Homo-oligomer: A and B are copies of this chain.
Amino acid sequence: MNLSARQIRAFLFLAEERHFTRAARRCHLTQPAFSALIQSLEELVGVRLFDRSTRRVTLTQEGEHFFLTAPRLLNDMEGLIGEMRQFADKRRGKVSIAALPSLAAGWLPGICATFSAQYPAVRISLRDALLEPCLQMVRDGAADMALAAQGLNMEGLTVDPLCEDRFYFICRHDHPLADHETVTTSDLTKERLIHLGKGSSIRQGLVSDSRIAEMPVSFEVDHLATVCGLVLAGMGVSLVPGMTLFHFRYPLLRAIPLAPGSEIRRQLLLVRREDRGLSAAAQAFHDLVMHERSSLASDGEFAIRVNP
């Protein structure tokens, strides 16, 4: 009891043409093969669907009844296949991405623009969140993948390294260290540090360095824009990843690399669930991210991408 699309297609061609040879041509079959196909359908449904008298082919009463629903049925089948192929061709679909705020504001929008230009019909859902929420969204399936850093528990997750993100020293132009080419961690022991909140991956990247951990903390805020404002107001200095420097492009501010030996880094990762494959659209996005990751070098010159 296996009705197939080609049987219905053959039926409809024959019902239209009323001629085996012509209908067979439209099915890309020889006439005997087509004849057998019709016979198999008739055997399946248990009744003759066509009266054929060598000279004239007509629908039987039962054939007329079959004809009432067969076109809709074939249309539904072909429509479903067509829809599924739209997913395959990325003419349809959805990608859900979670990303750290730094990447979500800086590098990722340009990637999204490139992706959207290539696959305009794929909807992109982009959630900016702190590290752990990012990872949690991947774990529970709310996001197909996350652009994030190393979390406390990476079990069940697959990671691809994206880039190393070096930290920079941020101070006002009138700060004693403002004219230095580089800065060492020992230079900073007396500085008042403006920190991000504990949920931030930037904060987590910093506390791994013991000297930084000893610095006096003047503020603990949630947004880099606030850090920026506080530094401009002379309330202290900060250490931020190169990936976020676009927040600090003010004439009165300086971003100074850390000296060799004092370097602090965080590793940025592309994270996905290891037990779930990506949808066609998500896979294409994943491929694009991996392909473009070389443009993600943290060299202090990074700017928000503008779509070419």
Contact = CB atoms under 8 A, between A and B. Distances in A.
Nearest to A53: B275
Contact of A73 (B45, B46, B80, B94): B80
B47 A84 contact: yes
Given A69-B76, A76-B69, A45 B81 contact: yes
A245 B85 CA distance: 73
A95 to B, nearest CB: 10
Interface stretch (A3-11, A13-21, A251-259): A3-11
A51 interface: yes
Nearest to A84: B45
Contact of A279 (B62, B93, B279, B280): B62
Q: Which of A80, A84, A87, A276 has the most CB of B within 10 A?
A: A84
Q: Which of A69, A77, A275 has the most CB of B within 10 A?
A: A77
Nearest to A274: B53
A2 B5 contact: yes
A88 interface: yes
14 contacts: A45-B81, A45-B85, A46-B85, A46-B88, A46-B89, A47-B84, A48-B277, A53-B276, A60-B277, A61-B279, A66-B80, A69-B80, A70-B80, A73-B76
